[in-house]
Each structure stands twice: as C-alpha cells, then as structure tokens.
Amino acid sequence: MSRGLRHVTEVLAPYVDYSRVPPELLRQAADRGSLVHEICAEIARGGFVLTHSDPVVQGHVDSFRSWFDLAVRKVVAVELHLEHPRWHYCGRLDLLAEITGDPVGSNTLVDIKTPLQTGKVWGAQLAAYQELVEANREWNVHRILSVQTKKNGAAARVVEWTSDGPRAFAAFVSALQAQRYFGPKGD
C-alpha cells in the first residue's frame, strides 16, 4: 500500500466498537468471516465448492448460495481491488452483479456480511466501494446492498443502502480526511 493510501475498512475502524467481544472470539469470527468470503467468491466465479466441515461456515455458505442462485442474473466482477485516484484510498469489493428483476446492464454492488447485527458503518463502506468502482471503471453502480448470511443456512438478510449513498460517502470522506489531518505527519 502506497503512502497515504488507506483501506476503506481501516478508515472506518475507529467507528466500530468491539471492546465487549473477547479477543479470541473476535479472532475466530474474523477468520470464519474471511473463509466464508473466500468460498462465496468461488461460488460467484462459478467454481466448484465442497461441503465445509464447520457447520457454521457451511450455514453461511448455504445462506449465500440460496440468495445468489435466486438473485444474481450475471456476475460482473468478484473480489476486485481498486484505488481511488482522487481521494487516495483503496478497497476490495466482494461482488458486482446484475440482479434478477433489475434492468439489463444495471449493476448492483454487493457486500457479503457474516455478523449477526447490522453494522452502523456498512452504508459508508459500501458508498466508498461504489465511488471506487465508478472512479476506476466504465461501470455505473445503480444499487448497493449488504447480504447478511445466516450461520444456520437460513435466508440471508438483504439491506439496500442506495438511498443513503451520497450522505454515507460524505461521512466516509470526512473520516478519511480527519485521519489524514490528525494522523502521523506526512500522510
């Protein structure tokens, strides 16, 4: 990562409170979330995925696969790393896809989430990813969604963040600028 280039999640980290979660439990959840993301990305790429030995991981995967099979008409990009040329931040989006029922060519940015509770920074995170896509590619993002998978394999909870996008991006840029201003000299 080049000097001054911060990752979206790094910018938003000060606004997420994990102080009540035991460190070992937090590490396990992070590892499990990373594994679920890897498997879901492989599903989105059309790859072959075996059943996982951890029933919680498998539940999240089943929850995602059910949503994906019903909702996604066409995959545009998976696990795409981008850098913003103007705002100098980076991020890796989970999925850009055309959703069944939306007009052809209408792209939806999807972020896969495994926590039980909806995060207060998710809207800002997705708005920052939307700006990354639109600043780097010829794609327009018409909708932004979080797909919150369930550990028991139940239907994923889908939250649309599109209407909050401009306000959420302004909050993200404010957080980014505050980190640069108050951070170490030279950022």
Q: Looking up tokens 């000097």, which residue turns up?
A: 3
Model confidence pLDDT, tens digit, residues 20-71: 999 999 999 999 999 999 999 999 999 999 888 999 999 999 999 999 999 9
Looking at per-residue pLDDT, the higher value among 144 and 137 belongs to 144
187 within domain boundaries: no
1 within domain boundaries: no
Q: What is the mean pLDDT of residues 93-103?
A: 96
| Max mean pLDDT range (3-12, 65-74, 177-186) | 65-74
Counted domains in the chain: 1
pLDDT tops 70 at residue 186? no
Question: 124: domain CATH number?
Answer: 3.90.320
Looking at per-residue pLDDT, the higher value among 117 and 184 belongs to 117
pLDDT tops 60 at residue 187? no
Q: What is the mean pLDDT of residues 153-164?
A: 95
- The overall average pLDDT reported for the chain is 93
User: CA-CA distance, 136 to 95, in Å (whole number)?
Assistant: 15
46 within domain boundaries: yes
pLDDT tops 90 at residue 183? no
163 within domain boundaries: yes
- 19, 151, 107, 95 alpha-carbon torsion, rounded to 10°: 70
19 within domain boundaries: yes
pLDDT level of residue 137 (50, 70, 90 thresholds): confident
Q: What is the mean pLDDT of residues 4-16?
A: 92
pLDDT level of residue 185 (50, 70, 90 thresholds): low
pLDDT tops 60 at residue 178? yes
Tell me what pLDDT residue 1 has: 43
Contact, 46 vs 65, CB < 8 A? Answer: no
Pairing relationship of beta strands 6-7 and 157-160 according to DSSP bridges: unpaired
Task: Give the pair of three-digit tokens for residue 62.
Answer: 């089943």
Of 9, 2, 8, which is closest to residue 187 (Cα–Cα)? Answer: 2
Which positions ≥6 away from 144 have C-beta within 8 Å? 108, 109, 111, 126, 127, 129, 130, 160, 161, 162, 165
Alpha helices in 45-153 (DSSP H): 55-71, 122-136
186 within domain boundaries: no
- Give the residue numbers spanning the domain of 98: 6-181
140 within domain boundaries: yes
Pairing relationship of beta strands 141-148 and 72-83 according to DSSP bridges: unpaired
pTM score, whole prediction:
0.92
